[in-house]
């Protein structure tokens, strides 16, 4: 399938904010205002909210029809130059069978989000070839502190046109439940770790592992042949559930197909420990496979949150602990 690259975002343009799962109204109004103000000040981007953002139908932000219409309208509108998820949830995959993929393909725009938005990004890239972006959502900019690496990576990959981009390693990270006291607590970042040495190239697939696996057996699950799998997961997981996900990937044959894997940092509350570690899980699930694996990448549910272009070419060097996007990802 031909890869389609969206037009880069520019200061002064408008981004549409969508809620395709959980309604936005459950976030404190002052947090939302802080996020919108930050996005304007940092990037010069204006916010336009989807009509269903604060709707509630059962546990979702309006009906499936309302959520699909909001997304379609933003892809159609010439005054909307990019689309960002407010946050995640549990039910974004409901919209996939109702999307007009020809419409999206004819109006390629920056589409960014993470967590439950993984389904939308993966489904659209798989069906259209459009490069989408697993990266910050509105909720990211609502936090009391937004790390410089989050800001600069987003700017570099969606607002600038670079022939390559080498991911930095942050000096510190945060994984506390910031919304309880509106405070980010930072710790020293030990940096990227090598689980299995080697080098590999391929196009990026992935996102939130539990969310991605909801697409298994559907037309929206990404083709894995020759790809580099980027995965992470949220604070609600634990060693038992992570083991289950990696085992499912193994038994689906994903590890027979990919060229390499990059795993995001798991929050400490997930409970991985010396006696129940990620390495133990990987030793079992990757038995018999020799592709390079890098762990502790700044991606997903800890901060900083790097922007990862789904569908773009990437090179990973687990020996030198380097991850480089090797092509332009926008126009």
Backbone angles phi, psi at 37, to 5 degrees: -65, -40
Catalytic-residue membership of 70: no
**Which pairs with CB-CB distance under 8 Å and at least 24 residues apart come from 164-170?**
164/324, 164/325, 164/326, 164/327, 165/324, 165/325, 165/329, 166/322, 166/323, 166/324, 166/325, 167/297, 167/298, 167/306, 167/322, 167/323, 167/324, 167/325, 169/298, 169/321, 170/298, 170/304
Enumerate the H helices of the chain as residue ranges. 29-43, 64-76, 101-106, 118-128, 148-158, 178-181, 209-212, 239-251, 254-257, 278-285
Catalytic-residue membership of 232: yes
Catalytically annotated residue among 85, 115, 122, 285 = 115
* Cis upstream peptide for 75 (omega within 30°): no
Catalytic-residue membership of 237: no
Catalytically annotated residue among 149, 232, 237, 296 = 232
- Give the residue numbers annotated as catalytic, written as ranges: 115, 232, 301
């Amino acid at each position: 399938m031909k890869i389609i690259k969206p037009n880069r975002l520019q200061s002064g343009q408008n981004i549409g904010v969508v809620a395709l799962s959980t309604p936005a109204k459950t976030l404190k109004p002052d947090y939302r205002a802080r996020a919108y103000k930050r996005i304007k000040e940092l990037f010069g981007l204006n916010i336009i909210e989807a009509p269903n953002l604060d709707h509630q139908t059962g546990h979702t932000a309006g009906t499936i029809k309302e959520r699909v219409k909001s997304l379609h309208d933003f892809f159609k509108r010439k005054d909307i130059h990019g689309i960002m998820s407010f946050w995640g949830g549990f039910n974004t995959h409901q919209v996939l069978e109702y999307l007009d993929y020809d419409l999206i393909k004819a109006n390629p725009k920056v589409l960014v989000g993470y967590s439950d938005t993984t389904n939308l990004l993966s489904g659209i890239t798989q069906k259209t070839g459009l490069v989408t972006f697993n990266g910050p959502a509105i909720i990211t900019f609502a936090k009391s502190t937004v790390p410089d690496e989050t800001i600069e990576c987003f700017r570099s990959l969606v607002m600038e046109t670079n022939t390559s981009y080498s991911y930095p390693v942050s000096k510190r990270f945060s994984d506390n439940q910031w919304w309880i006291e509106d405070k980010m607590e930072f710790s020293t970042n030990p940096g990227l770790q090598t689980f299995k040495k080697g080098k590999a190239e391929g196009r990026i697939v992935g996102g939130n592992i539990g969310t991605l696996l909801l697409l298994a057996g559907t037309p929206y699950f990404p083709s894995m042949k020759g790809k580099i799998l980027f995965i992470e997961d949220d604070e609600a997981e634990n060693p038992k559930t992570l083991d289950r996900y990696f085992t499912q990937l193994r038994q689906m044959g994903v590890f027979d197909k990919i060229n390499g894997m990059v795993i995001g940092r798991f929050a400490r509350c997930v409970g991985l420990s010396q006696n129940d570690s990620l390495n133990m899980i990987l030793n079992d699930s990757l038995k018999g496979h020799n592709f390079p694996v890098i762990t502790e990448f700044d991606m997903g549910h800890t901060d900083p949150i790097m922007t990862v272009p789904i569908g773009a070419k990437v090179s990973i060097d687990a020996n030198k602990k380097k991850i480089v996007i090797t092509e332009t990802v926008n126009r």
